[in-house]
Structure formats: structure tokens, C-alpha cells
């Protein structure tokens, strides 16, 4: 019912272009995450969807209708902000009631004292109360309704902000880094709650974050943005395994993907793997695609510089033989040769090797001529 | 025996700790002493002196005085001029405080929403605050002159016959109050402007998405509540300043006509320095101080509850 269509959206502040011709279709009921480093234009794009900013050119369609001349409240969207943006002088109940009251009560009925006496207000208020109590119990904040936002913890405030977005049953939820003010533990918990909320409400979610882990764990599809452009829009697992752009490969995944330039590879005296394209300038591989073998046996050789033990995995930072650049390797906790200072060989699974050209674009075809070299 | 021995070092340690603590105490007193001396010398001392004088019949210039108990206060409360001055002061405050706060707020909102020339408007509206009141009062005196004054001339052009603003019992206090607003609202405006800058944009965004996007709704749900602490500060400050009204009264009306614009501080000055009744003047001062302290406390109590949210 509420798919979102962005057509060639451009936005600039003065000379600085923030969003450069972004086109994107978001399906009805989809959880789409916009991810990118700070300043890449993802928040601006979200604010354009909400109607809080006007684009310089391009169109925004919600449910097939152009909403460019509609004010935020007429777009049937709700937004959750990074700082929660709760009204500090209103109780939690009144915070939740505000979007309902502004819609269902006339201006006169909303006046502080006079409004109460006007006919019709009582019934509307009763309905609003019932809806808020239902939403509050769903979010487990029913016991907080009388408090002011200042008396709540960060997690509780975030729930109230979600509740305020939820009560009026919008067709689209827009979330601007809603979890980044929370501590790590709470963030993981709230992630799960937002996923559950999305499943229960079944409406379209557009979620902005700079945290690739949030993007990977929560979304149906992820749109990676950088410097005002969309680099790739895909399912999380495809972004991880099959990135179209070196920048996408570097942004998704933690620890970061290993990138060794072709020149560096050759200068190390290592033979290139089979099937390397003529235009390939960078070879990239994930930490789990590398196997540790005895020094001298691998395609690349180096020295273990440091060891990060995460319990389930161990990450080795291996300095390459010429002392330039490191490669991160994931090994099992019980694997041998995992102490610092040890010389090791690195064996790279050729199936997991990603090739990119000088501009960072993915090279897919394999040229047999080069393969022989 | 051993237990006793064991205790000995502990006692010593406790003693040493006590010594350091008293040392710290001494240091603390030393650190606050400059502020304390100033406070006593400039504030508590003079207040105590005034309270003392209020119990005497001292006249300025004389070398002797007698303690006469609360006779000064008795005379004061029996004096209709005092009551007139007190009422006038309260009326003056009741006009100037809302006038200043409202005008300051409106101008601040207008300046902040206007696209250009903000710096100019801010400076222009702040000028009266920087000017010397007694000098400006003379200018106002000319403007309010019944025949050649700008105000009455302007009214005359519109076909309204003006009054003799400062010599008419009905308008003298009002005219002074308007001058007071003119002088003070720039300060309120500057404070409101800085308060407006601190309102987070995300709240306005949230209000827009929630449907509170009209001018009045934005004011009611975001701007005014977020300006609460600033407003409290402005109200208390303006109230205090308007209680102190003196220079304009002294220059323009001397409390006349027929005490129509007599105010507390002017009364105090006249009694003490024109009539040289220092004891009586001191009694007036004590009453004045009591009113100010009471007012500030009540305002802070009442407003504090409504403007601080966390």
C-alpha cells in the first residue's frame, strides 16, 4: 500500500551537493536501511521523504502519489529522531497523544482551558486514551505514562519516541539513527525490538544508520550511500558476498575486508591467482577467506603483528612481508600459529577473491589469457 | 595487649586524617575568604547598617542620634504618601514586566525568523538598554511635551488631541511605564534570542511530523516551553529592575503631579537626601528590601516548578 519511489532526487546547500540524483524504489512493507558514513546525505534523503526538507529537483512518491507539495503531516509518515525529540514539558501520555490530538481535534478544541468545554472533545479524548494505552502496553511503557521525558532512561525515551510514531498508524516509519544514543547492550536489545515491531506492524520502514552492523542485522534490503550517491541496493548477504563497488566492500563487514593492490601483490613476489582480469587494480578478500599455513607455503607471507581474541573467533593482524600493509585473518580459537611475532603464510580461497578496477568497480569476467600468467 | 598495640597505629592514622581534614578546612576558609569579605563588606554590612539606622532618628549631617525603636516604621505605615508610592510601584511593575517580556519575545521571534539584517535589528533594539536613562529621560521629556512634543504632534496629525502626558495625574505613571518598557525590552530580546538558538531543531521537526506545524502550535508545543527557563530569568530580572525605577521619575516628574507618579525609590531618595531624614529613609529601604526578597522568592518558587523539566 505504501511503497516509496524516489526519482532523481537532488539536493544541495549553496554550492555543496548533498544528494546527487538518487533514484530508489522501496517496496510496501519493506525494511530498508540507508547506510553510509556521516555526511553522505542519508539523513538528508530521509528528511526529504518526510517532507522536512525540499529537494532541488526530482520526485518523491508515496503509495504511487507524488507528495512533493504535501506538508510532513499530510504524507502519512512518522519519524523517530536520534535525540528522540520528545516534548520535555509534556508527560509521556501527552507526548503520545499529541499527534492524535493535532489530527482529530480542531484548533479551538485543543486550546488549554476553553477546549475542554467544547462539545465532542470528551469522546475523542476517550478514544485517544484507549489507543495510547494499547500502544504503551505493546512497548512496555504503560507504567511510565505520567512521567516526564526527563525522568526516563535513554531506552525508555526511545520506546516513547517509537510509541509516538506508532499511535497514529502511519503507512511509513522513518528512523534517523534511532539507536546511536544508546549504550551497546541496549542497542542490541532495541534492534531486536524494532525488528519485531516491523514484523507486527507490517508497514514500510526506512531506517538510517552509519552502523553497518545495524544495517546488516535488521534490514530486508540495504542501500549503501556515499558522497550523495547510491552505490548499491541489495539484500545484506549479497552486499557482503557480492559487492559492486570497492567502497561497499570496505563499508560492509567487520573487521574490514582486506584490500591488496595489484602492484603491491606483484611487488611482494607473489604469483597472482588464476583468473585475474586485465583491468583489475585491487584484490579484496574477507578475513574468513584466508587460511594460515606454514611460512613460505602461502601465496602471501607475513608476520603476525597482533592477536584479537573474541572468544568465538580470533582475528590475526598479519603484517605483509615487506612491512607495508596488514591483512586480517579470522581463525578458530583452537588453531595453532596464532601468537604474535610468528611468521606465517596466507592461503586465500580463490573463489572468495573479489576484483576491482582502478575506479573501484567490480570486475567479474575472467580472462583466460591472464590466467596463464 | 596485642589488640591494644594493633589499635595504636589505627588511632594515629585517624589523628593524622583529622589533622589533614582540619588543614583542608583552613584552606577552604582561606579560599572563600575574599568572596566572603566582599559579601560582608558590600552586602551584609550595609544591610545591617540600614536596619540599624532605621531604628534611629538620625538626620544627615548631625553628629548625634537616638534609638527610637520602631517609631520610623510606625510613621511610615501611617503615611498615605508611602502607600501611594507602594501602590504606584506595584502598578508600574504590573505594566512594565508583562510589557517588556511580551515585546522582547515578539521582537526576538521576528528577528530570528527574518531572513536578513538580524545583526542590525538586534543592535537597534538593544540601544535603549545601553543608553543612560537620565539622559534618555530628557529626550522623552521633549517628545512628550504637550505642545511641541513629537508624540502630541503625531497624534494631532491623526486628529487626536493629546494630553499633557507627564503633568496629568491619569497618564504620568503610564507614560513612565512605557518609557520603562522602551528601555528594558531590548535586554529581554537579547536573552530570548539566545534562548531561541538553543531550541533543538529536531523538536520542530517532530512537531511538523506530528501535525503541530502551524505558527501557534509551534509556539505552544515547542518554542514557549523550551524558552521557559529564559522567561523565568527575564521575568525576575525585569521585575527587579522595574522595582528600582528612579531616574526617569526623578528627571521627568519628581513623583508628581500630586504624587501620581511617586514610587518607592524616589520616595526613599526624597526623604533621605532632600529632607535629610536618614532614619525614616532607612526604614523605607528596609521595607523595600523585604518586598524585593519576598517577590524574588515567590517568583522563583512558582516558576521553577513549571520551567525545569528534568
B260–chain A Cβ distance below 8 A for any pair: no
Burial B175-193 (b: 16+ CB within 10 A, else e): bbbbbbbbbbbbbbbbbbb
Q: Is residue A285 part of a domain?
A: yes
The confidence score (pLDDT) of residue A373 equals: 40
User: How far out from the chain centre does Cα B200 lie?
Assistant: 29
Q: How far is A150 from chain B (nearest CA, A)?
A: 4
Q: Is residue A74 part of a domain?
A: yes
* Distances A221 to A27, A31, A198, A268, B89 between C-alpha atoms, Å: 10, 7, 14, 39, 70
Write the DSSP string, A49-109: HHTSS--SEEEEEETTEE-TTS-GGGTTEEEE-TT----TTS-HHHHHHHHHHHHHS-TGG
Yes or no, beta carbons of B205 and A83 under 8 Å apart: no
**A336, A312 contact by CB (below 8 A):** no
Q: How far is A216 from chain B (nearest CA, A)?
A: 27
B225–chain A Cβ distance below 8 A for any pair: yes
Res B251 pLDDT > 70:
yes
Query: What is the chain B residue with the closest CA to A107?
Result: B217
Q: How many CB pairs under 8 A join A and B?
A: 72
Handedness of CA B108, B110, B116, B122 (dihedral sign): negative
Res B2 pLDDT > 80:
no
Q: Is residue B203 part of a domain?
A: yes
Yes or no, beta carbons of B210 and A102 under 8 Å apart: yes
CATH code (residue A273): 2.40.50.140
Residue A191: closest CA among A203, A209, A167, A204: A209
- Boundary-marking domain end, from A241, A265, A294: A241
Specify the 3-state DSSP secondary structure of B44.
helix
| Element at B234 (helix H, strand E) | helix B228-243
Yes or no, beta carbons of A47 and B202 under 8 Å apart: no
Query: What is the chain A residue with the closest CA to B228?
Result: A89
Yes or no, beta carbons of B202 and A151 under 8 Å apart: no
Say if the ipTM goes beyond 0.90.
no
Domain match, A176 and A146 both: yes
Yes or no, beta carbons of A85 and B214 under 8 Å apart: no
Q: Is residue A157 part of a domain?
A: yes
Yes or no, beta carbons of B213 and A73 under 8 Å apart: yes
What lies within 8 Å, CB to CB, of A99 at 6+ separation is A78, A164, A167, A168, B209, B210, B211
Q: Is residue B42 part of a domain?
A: no
Q: How far is B119 from chain A (nearest CA, A)?
A: 22
Q: Is residue B103 part of a domain?
A: yes
Interface of A with B in 128-187 (CB under 8 A): 148-151, 164
Q: Is residue B48 part of a domain?
A: no
Write the DSSP string, B125-144: HHHHHHS-HHHHHHHHHHHT
User: Hey, what's the cell of A177?
Assistant: 539513527
Angle between helices A92-104 and B201-210 (to 10 degrees): 50
CATH code (residue B128): 1.10.3720.10
Interface of B with A in 129-158 (CB under 8 A): none
Domain of B295 in residue numbering reads as 80-307
Q: Is residue B101 part of a domain?
A: yes
Q: How far is B238 from chain A (nearest CA, A)?
A: 24
Question: What does the mean pLDDT of chain B come to?
Answer: 84
Q: Is residue A96 part of a domain?
A: yes
* pLDDT, block means (10 residues), chain A with 373 residues: 88 90 92 92 92 91 89 89 90 90 81 74 85 88 89 89 90 91 88 91 93 91 92 93 92 90 85 81 91 81 88 89 88 74 87 89 66 42
Residue with cell 588511632: B11
What is the C-alpha to C-alpha distance for residues B201 and B216, in angstroms, rounded to an integer?
17
Interface test with A, best of B198, B200, B211 (most A CBs within 10 A): B211
Domain of A118 in residue numbering reads as 4-241
- Boundary-marking domain end, from A241, A273, A304: A241
- Name the residue facing A150 among B210, B221, B310 (closest C-beta): B310
Q: Which residues in A lie closer than 8 A to residue B200 (C-beta atoms)?
A: 83, 85
Interface test with B, best of A47, A53, A81 (most B CBs within 10 A): A81
Res B280 pLDDT > 80:
yes
Strand partners, A239: none
Q: How far is B221 from chain A (nearest CA, A)?
A: 7
Provide the domain count of chain A: 2
Query: What is the chain B residue with the closest CA to A175?
Result: B206
B199–chain A Cβ distance below 8 A for any pair: no
B203–chain A Cβ distance below 8 A for any pair: yes
For residue B127, what pLDDT band results from cuts at 50, 70 and 90? confident
Domain match, A207 and A269 both: no
Q: Which residues in B lie closer than 8 A to residue A149 (C-beta atoms)?
A: 309-310
The confidence score (pLDDT) of residue B1 equals: 42
Q: Is residue A246 part of a domain?
A: no
Q: Which residues in A lie closer than 8 A to residue B210 (C-beta atoms)?
A: 73, 98-99, 102, 164
Range scoring the smallest mean pLDDT among A130-139, B87-96, B256-265: B256-265
Q: Is residue A249 part of a domain?
A: no
Domain match, A52 and A159 both: yes
Domain match, A234 and A270 both: no
Yes or no, beta carbons of B212 and A71 under 8 Å apart: no
Q: Is residue B213 part of a domain?
A: yes
Residue A210: closest CA among A183, A238, A237, A180: A180
Residue A78: closest CA among A103, A41, A108: A103
Query: Number of H helices and number of E strands within chain A?
Result: 11, 19
Q: Is residue B294 part of a domain?
A: yes
The confidence score (pLDDT) of residue B117 equals: 81
B206–chain A Cβ distance below 8 A for any pair: yes
Interface test with B, best of A76, A90, A102, A132 (most B CBs within 10 A): A102
**A61, A47 contact by CB (below 8 A):** no
Domain match, A198 and A136 both: yes
Query: Number of H helices and number of E strands within chain B?
Result: 15, 0
Domain match, A300 and A194 both: no
**A333, A312 contact by CB (below 8 A):** yes
Domain match, A267 and A228 both: no
Res B310 pLDDT > 80:
no
The confidence score (pLDDT) of residue B308 equals: 66
Domain match, A61 and A206 both: yes
Q: How far is B9 from chain A (nearest CA, A)?
A: 46
What is the C-alpha to C-alpha distance for residues B244 and A44, in angstroms, rounded to an integer?
51
For residue B3, what pLDDT band results from cuts at 50, 70 and 90? very low
Interface test with A, best of B206, B213, B230, B309 (most A CBs within 10 A): B206
The confidence score (pLDDT) of residue B267 equals: 87
Which has the higher per-residue pLDDT, B97 or B24? B97
- Name the residue facing B213 among A71, A83, A164 (closest C-beta): A71
Res B74 pLDDT > 70:
yes
Strand partners, B1: none
Residue A255: asked if its preceding bond is cis (omega within 30°), the reply is: yes
Res B100 pLDDT > 90:
yes
| Element at A12 (helix H, strand E) | strand A4-13
Yes or no, beta carbons of B211 and A89 under 8 Å apart: no
B216–chain A Cβ distance below 8 A for any pair: yes
A315–chain B Cβ distance below 8 A for any pair: no
Q: Is residue B13 part of a domain?
A: no
- Boundary-marking domain end, from A219, A241, A263: A241
The confidence score (pLDDT) of residue A365 equals: 65
Res B6 pLDDT > 60:
no
Write the DSSP string, A286-337: -GGGEEEEETTTSSEEEEEEEEEE-SS-EEEEEEETTSS-EEEEEE-TT-SS
Angle between helices A42-50 and B201-210 (to 10 degrees): 40
Q: Output DSSP code: residue A346.
A: E
Domain match, A229 and A273 both: no
Yes or no, beta carbons of B228 and A52 under 8 Å apart: no
When pLDDT is averaged across residues B159-181 and rounded to a whole number, the result is: 84
Query: What is the chain B residue with the closest CA to A97?
Result: B210
Domain match, A267 and A353 both: yes
Provide the domain count of chain B: 1
Domain match, A73 and A209 both: yes
Amino acid at each position: 500500500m505504501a511503497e516509496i519511489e524516489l526519482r532523481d532526487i537532488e539536493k544541495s546547500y549553496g554550492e555543496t551537493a548533498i544528494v546527487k540524483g538518487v533514484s530508489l524504489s522501496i517496496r510496501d512493507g519493506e525494511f530498508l536501511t540507508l547506510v553510509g558514513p556521516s555526511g553522505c546525505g542519508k539523513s538528508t534523503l530521509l528528511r526529504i521523504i518526510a517532507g522536512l526538507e525540499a529537494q532541488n529537483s526530482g520526485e518523491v512518491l508515496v503509495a504511487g502519489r507524488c507528495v512533493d507539495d504535501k506538508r510532513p503531516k499530510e504524507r502519512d509518515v512518522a519519524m523517530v529522531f536520534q535525540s528522540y525529540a520528545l516534548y520535555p514539558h509534556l508527560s509521556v501520555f501527552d507526548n503520545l497523544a499529541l499527534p492524535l490530538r493535532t489530527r482529530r481535534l480542531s484548533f479551538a478544541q485543543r486550546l488549554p482551558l476553553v477546549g475542554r468545554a467544547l462539545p465532542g472533545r470528551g469522546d475523542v479524548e476517550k478514544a485517544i486514551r484507549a489507543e495510547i494505552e494499547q500502544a504503551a502496553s505493546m512497548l512496555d511503557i504503560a507504567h511510565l505514562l505520567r512521567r516526564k521525558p526527563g525522568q526516563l532512561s535513554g531506552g525508555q525515551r526511545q520506546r516513547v519516541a517509537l510509541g509516538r510514531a506508532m499511535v497514529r498508524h502511519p503507512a511509513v516509519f522513518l528512523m534517523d539513527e534511532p539507536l546511536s544514543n544508546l549504550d551497546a547492550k541496549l542497542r542490541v536489545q532495541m534492534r531486536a525490538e524494532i525488528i519485531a515491531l516491523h514484523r507486527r506492524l507490517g508497514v514500510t520502514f526506512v531506517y538510517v544508520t552509519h552502523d553497518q552492523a545495524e544495517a546488516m542485522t535488521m534490514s530486508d534490503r540495504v542501500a549503501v550511500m556515499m558522497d550523495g550517491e547510491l552505490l548499491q541496493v541489495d539484500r545484506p548477504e549479497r552486499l557482503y558476498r557480492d559487492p559492486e563497488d570497492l567502497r561497499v566492500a570496505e563499508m560492509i563487514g567487520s573487521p574490514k575486508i582486506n584490500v591488496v593492490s595489484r602492484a603491491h601483490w606483484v611487488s611482494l613476489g607473489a604469483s597472482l591467482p588464476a583468473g585475474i582480469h586485465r583491468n583489475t587494480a585491487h584484490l579484496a578478500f574477507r578475513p574468513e577467506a584466508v587460511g594460515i599455513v606454514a611460512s613460505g607455503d602461502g601465496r602471501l607471507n607475513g608476520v603476525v603483528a597482533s592477536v584479537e581474541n573474541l572468544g568465538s573467533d580470533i582475528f590475526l593482524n598479519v603484517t605483509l612481508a615487506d612491512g607495508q600493509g596488514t591483512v586480517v585473518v579470522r581463525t578458530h580459537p583452537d588453531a595453532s600459529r596464532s601468537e604474535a611475532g610468528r611468521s606465517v603464510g596466507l592461503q586465500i580461497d580463490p573463489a572468495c577473491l573479489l576484483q576491482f578496477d582502478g575506479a573501484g568497480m567490480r570486475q567479474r569476467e575472467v580472462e583466460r589469457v591472464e590466467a596463464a600468467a | 595487649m596485642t589488640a591494644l598495640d594493633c589499635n595504636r597505629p589505627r588511632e594515629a592514622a585517624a589523628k593524622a586524617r583529622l589533622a589533614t581534614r582540619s588543614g583542608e578546612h583552613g584552606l577552604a576558609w582561606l579560599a572563600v575568604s575574599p568572596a566572603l569579605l566582599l559579601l560582608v563588606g558590600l552586602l551584609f554590612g550595609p544591610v545591617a547598617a540600614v536596619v540599624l539606622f532605621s531604628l534611629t532618628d538620625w538626620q544627615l549631617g548631625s553628629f548625634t542620634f537616638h534609638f527610637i525603636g520602631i517609631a520610623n516604621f510606625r510613621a511610615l505605615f501611617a503615611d498615605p504618601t508611602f502607600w501611594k508610592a507602594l501602590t504606584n510601584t506595584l502598578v508600574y511593575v504590573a505594566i512594565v514586566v508583562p510589557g517588556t517580556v511580551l515585546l522582547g519575545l515578539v521582537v526576538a521571534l521576528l528577528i530570528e525568523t527574518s531572513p536578513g539584517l538580524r545583526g542590525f535589528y538586534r543592535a537597534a533594539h538593544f540601544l535603549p538598554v545601553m543608553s543612560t536613562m537620565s539622559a534618555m529621560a530628557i529626550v522623552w521629556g521633549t517628545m512628550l511635551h504637550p505642545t511641541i512634543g513629537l508624540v502630541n504632534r503625531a497624534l494631532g496629525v491623526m486628529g487626536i488631541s493629546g494630553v499633557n502626558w507627564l503633568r496629568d495625574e491619569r497618564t504620568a505613571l503610564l507614560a513612565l511605564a512605557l518609557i520603562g518598557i522602551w528601555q528594558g525590552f531590548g535586554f529581554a530580546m537579547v536573552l530570548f534570542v539566545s534562548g531561541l538558538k538553543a531550541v533543538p531543531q529536531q523538536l520542530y521537526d517532530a512537531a511538523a511530523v506530528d501535525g503541530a506545524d502551524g505558527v501557534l502550535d509551534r509556539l505552544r508545543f515547542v518554542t514557549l516551553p523550551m524558552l521557559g527557563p529564559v522567561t523565568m530569568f527575564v521575568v525576575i530580572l525585569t521585575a527587579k529592575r522595574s522595582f528600582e525605577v528612579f531616574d526617569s521619575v526623578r528627571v521627568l516628574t519628581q513623583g508628581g503631579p500630586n504624587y501620581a507618579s511617586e514610587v518607592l525609590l524616589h520616595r526613599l531618595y526624597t526623604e533621605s537626601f532632600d529632607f535629610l531624614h536618614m532614619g525614616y529613609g532607612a526604614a523605607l529601604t528596609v521595607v523595600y528590601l523585604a518586598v524585593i526578597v519576598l517577590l524574588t522568592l515567590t517568583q522563583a518558587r512558582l516558576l521553577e516548578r513549571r520551567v525545569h523539566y528534568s
